[in-house]
Chain A
Amino acid sequence: KAGVTQTPRYLIKTRGQQVTLSCSPISGHRSVSWYQQTPGQGLQFLFEYFSETQRNKGNFPGRFSGRQFSNSRSEMNVSTLELGDSALYLCASSVSGGQDTQYFGPGTRLTVL
């Protein structure tokens, strides 16, 4: 069974630009969660999507948004990029979310200059 894939793997953007990250979950998984990973803060929850609906959201500004498609693939968008948005963005899929085991992708490394 193929694992979670994320594209692109690396991105370099400048302040003020916007970016879209993509995540393809494991086949059959309907829940996709997004996390921001930084050395100082660890993993911080961004949001979770289940069956095309955002089920939960972390404490991030509205510049961070996402969506999920009918095939469970998910995208995350960050608008008006700031230097502090530089991080590794991880996506994780699970069968139904909640306490199900999460399977993580390799991440997208975003650098904002």
Chain B
Amino acid sequence: AQRVTQPEKLLSVFKGAPVELKCNYSYSGSPELFWYVQYSRQRLQLLLRHISRESIKGFTADLNKGETSFHLKKPFAQEEDSAMYYCALYSGGYQKVTFGTGTKLQVIP
């Protein structure tokens, strides 16, 4: 079975500090990983996906197959980054997307 674990329910950082939102997964096949974000009073939306290897809004995430992790990072947090972040795994074998329980990022001015 596939599983996505986001160990932190809440992460508080000061503006300008580095951010790392943790995501670990378990899946025996080749995973496709995503980060989705939900800003206050907005819809859940895709932030980035590992196959694109993009930096979106200053965020990056690297897939580490050895550690089965896909942590989301940003060197300098901004107040507008405050949101709920979900890590998600697409497992081709099961043909479904599994979401983690989410981490609320709070950037303190």
Residues in chain A within 8 A of chain B (CB atoms): 3, 33, 35, 40-45, 48, 55-56, 58, 90, 92, 97-99, 101-107
Bound Cα distance from A34 to B90, whole angstroms = 15
Q: A101-B49, A106-B43 are in contact. Are A42 and B95 (CB under 8 A)?
A: no
Residues of chain B from 4 to 46 with CB closer than 8 A to chain A in the complex = 32, 34, 36, 43-46
Bound Cα distance from A28 to B91, whole angstroms = 24
B32 near A42 (CB under 8 angstroms)?
A: no
The binding surface of chain B is classed by DSSP as: strand
Bound Cα distance from A80 to B38, whole angstroms = 31
How many A-B pairs have beta carbons closer than 8 Å: the answer is 50
A residues within 8 A CB of B49?
99, 101
A55 near B95 (CB under 8 angstroms)?
A: yes
Most chain A beta-carbon neighbours within 10 Å: one of B92, B95, B97: B97
Most chain B beta-carbon neighbours within 10 Å: one of A40, A43, A98, A105: A43
B96 near A45 (CB under 8 angstroms)?
A: yes
A residues within 8 A CB of B97?
33, 45, 102
B46 near A42 (CB under 8 angstroms)?
A: no
A residues within 8 A CB of B51?
99
Interface locus among B54-62, B66-74, B99-107: B99-107
Tally of B interface residues using CB under 8 Å: 21
Q: Flag B69-102 by CB within 8 Å of A: 1 or 0 each.
A: 0000000000000000010001010111111111
A residues within 8 A CB of B102?
42-43
Bound Cα distance from A101 to B102, whole angstroms = 18
Further contacts, 19 of them, CB under 8 A, given A101-B34, A102-B46: A40-B101, A42-B86, A43-B102, A44-B99, A45-B96, A45-B98, A45-B99, A48-B95, A55-B95, A56-B95, A56-B96, A58-B96, A97-B95, A98-B90, A99-B51, A99-B90, A102-B97, A104-B45, A106-B43
A93 to chain B, nearest CB (A): 12
